[in-house]
Chains A and B, each alone.
Chain A
């Protein structure tokens, strides 16, 4: 009887430790990824860039205006139409790092 209870407790304890370890691992690996948001089990609503922010956003390098575009997959980008740099928008947050814009450059989007 007591052995059985001890066994169950041991299993629960191991489970608890695994859940904690996974949670800690996730917390330590949020360096460059968007969290699930919303709350556990419920998919978060898709967020968009606010019009107030869009009005003043500029390319971090040449400081000229950027345009909000969507690709075929529906993903939003901020395009510098002068050089084709595309800055990703992650869950409504624009990632305005020059190296990101350069990495996702699409020369076909340059407006002459």
Chain B
């Protein structure tokens, strides 16, 4: 390994010795993005997060949006799913209700999320990560943990340099930027990736971890949400320093197992390994309504549209559903789920809808729903789907019809072909 106090240029990856005084520019390319850290070459757990992922993709695909505030989200009751960095300067945040976001930033360009597109690009980035190490644990579509231990020889560089090369590669190939955190466990890597956003790179080493965490609010610990924070604040615990001051036995006595976890994380200890990608276990589609709905006649077209969405996702991902789960959230935020299995494996919207509707109708007992969703579980291979049998003789033909609809929609847009039930519901809505 190089000398410990080496500096590394994030743009050209040149290494040079650190000198006393202010941090210099890169001696090779003159870039100011020079990075140095005593433990730089010994840390291997990384967290990579794409910067304003959905918004960045939309800006990339439509240069006119480059200097405008852009919000990805939609619907009357919808929430902001991503705000670009310009919109964030107005105070727009993820998960903020859309009307509030538009109050804060009336000029924002609002774009409905195109999840298919974002997942496609997310998968491209994922496969680039997998070129670095097989130990990639996806957290979401645009976020993952990587364990780069033992990859030095393969890549001819320490993990830090490998990551910087990766970021450059994503920028040049996909025209998107990422922020990265590097440390010696997942908890700290995740915190680090948040320190220098966007286009960031930050490191937390063993030597500084305790003082570094001391000044942070307790809420950065995963699993410590609003309610827990309030409870801890009542006990006088606001900063991680407050936890660090208490002994393990104190914390264990007060909060049990959870107290011990807090103690460990407050010292920067986290032994969770980076678990490589899980296999897909379920695929689903759901939607939240603009207003609560109780009427099965009105819910049916929505379920049909979700069934079409789910069927398309199954076809695209090469799975068939051997089980289906209907999820419904009532106006008082209770979730009901109902499941069915034992039917012939399917990827057909019409079959999914028939099974889903049967479950849905039973649940329509006057309760008002704010959300419904339908998910496929017990996934099988696509080849098993809709082969038809002695009773269901039309399945192969129906599968042909739905594939033809897929092609039409791909060519002419999602509204090019609509099922009568959905079309009727839409016409009805427009009349009012």
The answer on A and B forming one complex is: no
Q: Which residues from chain B sit less than 8 Å from chain A, CB to CB? A: none
